[in-house]
Chain A
Amino acid sequence: MEKILAKNKLDDWVAALSDWQVSAPIMEDDIWSYKASKGKVQLEHSNTVQPPKGFSFPQREVFFSFEQIKGQPPRLTPIQPKAARHAVFGVRPCDGAGAVRMDTVFNDQFQDNYYQARRSNVAYVGLACNKPQGINCFCQSVGGSPVSSQGMDVLMTDLGDRYYVAAVTETGKALMTAGGKVFGEPSADDKKKLKQTHADALAQPQRAINNVDAVPAKLKASFDSPLWEELARACIGCGACTFLCPTCHCFDINDENTSSSPLRGNRVRTWDNCQFPDFTMHTSGHNPRENQGARLRQRVNHKFQYFHENFGMSQCTGCGRCITECSVGVDIVNVVNKVTEHVG
C-alpha cells in the first residue's frame, strides 16, 4: 500500500488513529525525545537523543511481586505488562534497524514475554532521512540505509509539501487504512520524485568504517591489542553511550523490597551497562574486565564481532549517538578503524 499524504493532513491521520496511543519526537528541555503527541505531530526533528527502544524494552520492568508472611509459604504474583497499542511516528531508519536487532535478541531460542508483550503492540511509523541527521551518521557503513524500511511498519518520505507513505507490514496497512480519506493516490510524478529523493539521500556523504566486511575477523585478531587501553584512556566509564544506543540490551535483575516486615517487594529488570566497572564484578572481588580498555573492547566487539558471529549482522546501526553524546570524544568509528587498520 502506497499513498500520498499532504503535510497539513498529518494531524488528521493521527486523529483517525483513535485506537492507538501516538508518540512522536518533541523538543522539550532542549532535546528531541519521543513524547505522547497530544494530537499534534510535526516531523521536523533531527534524531532523538534517546532511541525508541524503551517502548518495548523500558529501563525498568517489574517481573513479579513477592510477599512472605510468617508461617505461610511465599506468595508470588506475576506481573505482565499491560501495553496499549502504540504508534511511534518519526522513527529514523537507524532506529528501525535497531528494532530488528532487539527483536532478534529477545526472540532467539527463548522468547522474552515481557519484551514481546510490549513489542507486539508497538508500531513504528518511520521517516526516511533525506539528509544525515548529524555529523556522526554512518548507517551505510553497517548495512543500513537512510531510506531503509527495516523494522518499520510504515515508511514515510518527505517530498516537500507532502509525504510519500508506504506500508511495510500488515500493521502498517491497518494504520494507513484507519486514515482512510486523508491519503491520496500517488501520481507518476510522486513516484518519480520518491525515487529521486531516495537516490539523493543515498548519495549524501556520511562517516565511514573502512573495509567493513573484514571488521569481524580483524577484531577477533585484535583482542589483545594494546590499542584498546590507549583508545579508552579518556573514557570516564559512564553509561551514556550504551543507554542511548538503539541496540544495547543488557540488563540486571534485582529484588526491590517495599516492606521488610512482612517481607514484600518486586523483582525488577533494569538496564545495565558494560561500561560500568561493576558490570563484570565477581562476588570474589575479581573483575575480569579490569580496565576501561577491556570495557571499550567489549562494547565494540559485541557490536562488530560477536553479533556477527551469533546473528550474521552488525549490531551497530550507525546512528552515531554514542559518538555525539560522548563527553570525552570516544568515537566508535574511529576506534573500529584504528584497531582494524593495525591487523594485516
Chain B
Amino acid sequence: MINLQDMRDTARNMLAKNEVRGVIGYRRSTNGMLAEPVVITKPEQADELIWDPTCFHNLSLYLVEDRKFLAHTRAKADLPIAIIAKGCDARSTVVLMQENYFERKDVYIIGVSCEGTGVLDERKLVKKGIRATNSAFDGDDFVFTTEQGEQRIPAREVMADRCLECRECFPKEHNIVLGEDKTGRQLDAPFTALKRFEELDPAARWEFWDHQFERCIRCFACRSVCPMCYCDECIVDSTSFPVTGQTTADEKANRVKWIERSATRAENMTYHMTRVLHLAGRCIDCNECERVCPVNIPLRLLNNKMEREAREQFGYEPGASIGGPSLTASFLDTDPGKFIR
C-alpha cells in the first residue's frame, strides 16, 4: 500500500529544499469524488496531494505543457520539475525523453506503483449504479463512500481495461518510488479487448467504425489530453502555430489543407487515422484519449492495434528505454519486410 503521507512528505521536502520547481500531482477536484491534476510550488501545498483510484490522469502531459510554457516565455529553468508517475505515466515520460522533448535531468520522477489494482474506470462504476463521494485503495479492492455507506468492490470489476491488461504497473524509470513492485500481476492477457474485437468479420468491423466515427464531434479532447500529441502544428487546426510575422502570404496560402473542419464521417476518420498512426511505437496505453471522449468512442482499440503490430513485427515496446532506438526512426537487420533491402 502506498502511504499518502510519504508522498506528501517527499513533495514537501523537495520543495522546501529547493530541489525542484514544482510537483505535478493530484488533488481533490470540486467535481464530486474525482481527482484533478495540480502543480504545487510551495511546501505548504503538499497536503493538498491525494492518491486514490480516481488518479487516472497521465500527468506527463503537464511536463509537455511546462516545456511549452518555458519555450513560449523564453524562461530558463534551473531546477527540475517533479512528477507523480504511475507505471504508464513513467513510460510516456520515457518516450518524451527518447524523443528529446526534454532531458532526464529536467525531470524528477516520483514513481507510484499501482500494485496491480490500477485505477478506476468511472463508466464501469456508473454502470453498477454506484454514486460515490469518495474512493480509496484497499488491497485488491476499491472502497467507495456512498449515501448508503461504505461499499467495497473488487478492483478488477471496475478497473480500467488498460489496467487489467497492464504489463508494467511499476514505474521502472524513477528517482524514487512509492509502493511495491507487483509487475506480472496482470489480470487479463495483453490485447484481450482487441482480440475480442478482431473476432468480428471485416464487414462488421467496418460497420462498427463507420458508426463510431459518425459520432465524433471533433472536440479534440483525445488529442489535447495525449502527452504524445505535442506538435506545434497539427493538420486539424485551421491555422498553424508556426505562423509568425515573417511567414509570407504565399506560405500561408499554400498551406496544404489535409482535413476539413466539418465533423463528417470521412473527415473524422481521416483525423482518427492520422492521430493513431502518429502514435505507433509511441503510445504507451495510458488510454486517456478514450477516457476523456465525451461520446465514448473506443479509441483504445486503434491504439492497441498499432501497439501490437509494433510488438509482433518489430519486437518493439514503447517506453522501455530512453536511449534505445525508436520504432519509426530506426532500422534493424532483423526487421521484417525483405523488399526494403
Contact = CB atoms under 8 A, between A and B. Distances in A.
B57 interface: yes
A49 B295 contact: yes
Interface residues of A, number: 46
A230 to B, nearest CB: 10
Contacts of B206: none
Contact of A136 (B31, B239, B243, B260): B31
B262 interface: yes
B243 A327 contact: no
B148 interface: no
A272 B261 CA distance: 9
A252 B245 contact: no
A273 B223 CA distance: 15
A237 to B, nearest CB: 5
A278 B237 contact: yes
A324 B244 CA distance: 37
Contact of A270 (B220, B223, B225, B263): B263
B39 interface: yes
B29 interface: yes
Given A240-B292, A281-B243, A331 B29 contact: yes
Nearest to B243: A285
Interface of A is mostly: loop
Contact of B221 (A30, A236, A283): A236
Contact of B30 (A29, A284, A333): A333
A6 interface: no
A236 B30 contact: no
B330 interface: no
B123 interface: yes
Given A60-B263, A236-B224, A329 B37 contact: yes
Contacts of A277: 237, 241
A244 B294 contact: yes
A326 B291 CA distance: 11
A309 interface: no
A198 B239 CA distance: 50
B30 to A, nearest CB: 4
A254 B267 CA distance: 14
Contacts of B36: 234, 328-329
B244 to A, nearest CB: 4
B278 interface: no
B34 interface: yes
B30 A334 contact: yes
B71 to A, nearest CB: 13
Centre residue among A252, A277, A327, A334 by max chain B CB count within 10 A: A327
Centre residue among A270, A286, A290 by max chain B CB count within 10 A: A270
Contact of B296 (A29, A268, A281): A29
B296 A135 contact: no
B219 A238 contact: yes
B127 interface: yes
Centre residue among A30, A33, A285 by max chain B CB count within 10 A: A285
B274 interface: no
Interface string B22-49: 0000000111101111110000000000
Contacts of A234: 36-38, 62
A50 B291 contact: no
A243 interface: yes
Interface string A99-112: 00000000000000
A300 to B, nearest CB: 15
B37 A328 contact: yes
B262 A256 contact: yes
A4 interface: no
A170 B291 CA distance: 44
Centre residue among B31, B38, B237, B244 by max chain A CB count within 10 A: B31
A263 B175 CA distance: 59
Interface in A239-287: 239-240, 243-244, 252, 254, 256, 268, 270-273, 276-278, 281, 283-286
Nearest to A329: B36
Contact of B239 (A233, A278, A328): A278
A272 B239 CA distance: 13
Nearest to A33: B295
A55 B221 CA distance: 23
A323 B294 CA distance: 12
A256 B294 CA distance: 27
A31 B238 contact: no
Centre residue among A136, A233, A240 by max chain B CB count within 10 A: A240
Nearest to B27: A329
Nearest to A331: B30
B67 interface: no
A238 to B, nearest CB: 4
Given A60-B264, A136-B31, A328-B37, A238 B221 contact: yes
A59 interface: yes
B244 A285 contact: yes
B247 interface: yes
Contacts of A283: 239, 243, 252
Interface of A: 29-31, 33, 49-50, 59-60, 135-136, 233-234, 236-240, 243-244, 252, 254, 256, 268, 270-273, 276-278, 281, 283-286, 290, 323-329, 331, 333-334
7 contacts: A49-B294, A136-B31, A236-B292, A277-B241, A278-B239, A281-B241, A334-B30
Given A29-B295, A238-B223, 13 more contacts: A33-B295, A49-B294, A49-B295, A136-B31, A236-B224, A244-B219, A277-B237, A281-B243, A324-B31, A328-B225, A329-B29, A329-B31, A331-B30
Interface of B: 29-32, 34-39, 57, 61-62, 72, 123, 127, 131, 215, 217-221, 223-225, 237-239, 241, 243-245, 247, 252, 260-264, 288, 291-292, 294-296
Closest 8 CB pairs of A and B: A329-B36, A329-B29, A327-B292, A238-B224, A238-B221, A239-B219, A236-B224, A285-B243
